[in-house]
Amino acid sequence: MSGRTDTDDYRALFLGDTPMMDMRAPAEFSRGAFPSATSLPLMTDEERALVGICYKNQGQAAAIALGHELVAGEIKADRLQAWSDFATRHPGGYLYCFRGGLRSQTVQQWLRDAGIDYPLVKGGYKAMRRFLLEELERSVARAEPVLISGKTGTGKTRVVQRIKSSVDLEALANHRGSTFGQLPQPQPAQIDFENALSIALMKLLERGASRIYLEDEGRLIGRVALPDVLRLEMGRAPMLVVDEPLERRVDVVIEDYVLDLGERYVNYYGDDGPRLHSEKLQQDLLRIRKRLGSERHQQVSEMMAGAFTAQREQGDLSGHRDWIALLLEQYYDPMYEYQLSQRQGEQLFTGNREAVIEWVQAHDTGGAPPRA
């Protein structure tokens, strides 16, 4: 395995989803990494902390010596095996550490001693992170964002997912964007979200997209925040408004928040899933109690509890329609109307999901893929 050189072609790395192994400590990786990176650290968090203390008190040479002492024998052999396995599985990949310095160079040399010539990323994580932040600004400046807007339950995400030149912000954030939108799996770190967003925009522009379609979102999607540079552009972007009758909107909410979310909870938590799912929705409802008012909150809470009981005991979903319709009409719709009135962007078109997708197909060569 030889012939490839170290690289600083960050664009090619991200456009190609190039596999990379990250030599940084687990705590560093958890704070932020890249979609195609795998954490295979040179040192554990504890080992890195000891080396850091040594560096501070005794200098670099002593710290390096301690690092070699801590990562030796079977520990070194096990980690070298993991790096070798990665290099074998991903012969076109790279390795990196924080700055492309001692840690990645050490692993590179140990691999070379084992007969594996594996290149590193020059500048490491820090340089790649800076590149993606700068690229995000460039992408937002180049692209023409168009928002897919509409009331809760109109199926905006379904529209976004059928448009080729779109970025599904909620998928990147692993959250459905609403008060009830938290999923069982944790959300990515803020840095991970920003990195994935920058890469997604870069890929669309590389394919020649001029318009980028995004779902109309607030500043926060769960606990991750839209980057300011994108949020400001979205605040004045033109909109396509999805409009659906209440019955169809209730259907969508049942599909997403009762059936699909319930299945996710069962898959994630097993037998406790149904109970945790219904408790989670009650907790979410409690978070908007002040806006709903105590009396209306109590009404919706009792309706929701009764609906889950009927679903559990009889397999009957009809009870969910009542509390969902009440929340849509009395809570979400007034809030959306107010937010829409604050938007600066032009409303290009209003129609149901299919009509909006047809509008995109007619006005954008990126268009929407054919229906399955």
Query: Mind telling me the catalytic residues?
Result: 97
Q: Using CB atoms within 10 Å of the CB of residue 302, give its burial: 0 to 12 exposed, 13 to 18 middle, 19+ buried.
A: exposed
Sign of the torsion formed by the C-alpha atoms of 84, 89, 93 and 99: negative
User: Can you count the helices (H) and strands (E) in the chain?
Assistant: 19, 10
Q: Is the Cα dihedral 291, 296, 300, 306 positive or negative?
A: positive
Distance CA 33, CA 366 (A): 30
Contact 249/357 with Cβ under 8 angstroms? no
Q: Angle between the 228-235 and 124-142 helix axes, to the nearest 10 degrees?
A: 10
Alpha-carbon distance 206 to 109, whole Å? 35
Q: Report the length, in residues, of the chain.
A: 372
